Amino acid sequence: MEKILVDKSRLYVKSGIITLNGVSLPDYYWLIEKEKQKIEIVIRTIKELGFNTIRVPVLPGHFLFYNNYLNKTIKNIVDLSAKYKLYCILDWHAIGNPLHNQTRLKEYFHIKNNKPILWYSANLEIASSGLDILSKLFGKYKHVIFEIYNEPCPAEKDILQLDLSALPWKEWRKIAGDLISIVRKNTKNLILVSSNYWSFNLKSTSEDPFNEYSNIAYSFHCYPFKNNKNWKEMLDSMKEFPVVVTEFGYDTDKKSQYNSSYDDYLKPFMDYLRRNRISWIGWCFSSSWRSRIVLKWQPLELSDFGKHIIKNLIRNN
């Protein structure tokens, strides 16, 4: 597979411009143990559906808890993605405020030596160590892309009800720069950089981009939430820069926080992405992790969201 490079606002390989269209896996152990799936069959299915990319959440808590998590478990997925000719985004799946070490979704944890190890730990020291090892292990694989931090949050103000102190853009930018430098010393591969406010605040990114680094693109997450309604304004601000939407999705279940519909949410969003040739990765290729793409594994039945992103693939081709 050809290494992906950046030219102004586009991703390209030697043969021309490329658009990434893919899905994110859920947590590996969730997929194997909770949903009882075999990882190779899942990856092969993703390829057969027509996608060209998978995104792999690398959980900080698993990095600390499981022996050989990176060089065995994650390596197996990296190798399988190469076998099926899929680009592979390795996403350091931290959620929270690295400036103040405040982690979201603290209900997910391991216990080791009578202490909790948070799955989505926001800890910056752990992120630095994990990304260094990850990029050393996989930096020479041409099909691998590195996403340095899943969802740094919040933004300029504290959100007390979520136990989050402010993460101003200028502070996040310093942290992101340090993480980019750690990865860049080990590889020249494409790096995806998140913005603060759960990887949504592209406006600040556009005003202060990471021009000092080469081969950089910008992650964006967008869901049918009230505070994501200005998604077009955010994407419009980045017309001069390469963007990869690494999470988006909806759920027709009215009880779900992701509840929406194709007409209200997905159609205008994907029409915009297609017109502007913006790469996208749907969340999540799972039957239980919302916003789910799979309704049932055997035989495979896709959700409303899953069916529509497949139709969009066909339109793209």
Res 316 pLDDT > 90: no
pLDDT band at 56 (very low <50, low <70, confident <90, very high): very high
Average pLDDT, the chain: 97
In the chain, how many domains are there?
Answer: 1
Q: What is the CATH number of the domain that holds 116?
A: 3.20.20.80
Domain holding 28, by residue range, is 5-316
Q: What percent of the chain has pLDDT over 70?
A: 99
pLDDT band at 317 (very low <50, low <70, confident <90, very high): low
pLDDT band at 140 (very low <50, low <70, confident <90, very high): very high
Res 314 pLDDT > 90: no
In residues, how long is the chain? 317
Check residue 194 and give its pLDDT: 97
Quick: pLDDT tens for 151-194.
Answer: 999 999 999 999 999 999 999 999 999 999 999 999 999 999 99
Check residue 313 and give its pLDDT: 85
pLDDT band at 298 (very low <50, low <70, confident <90, very high): very high
Quick: pLDDT tens for 213-226.
Answer: 999 999 999 999 99
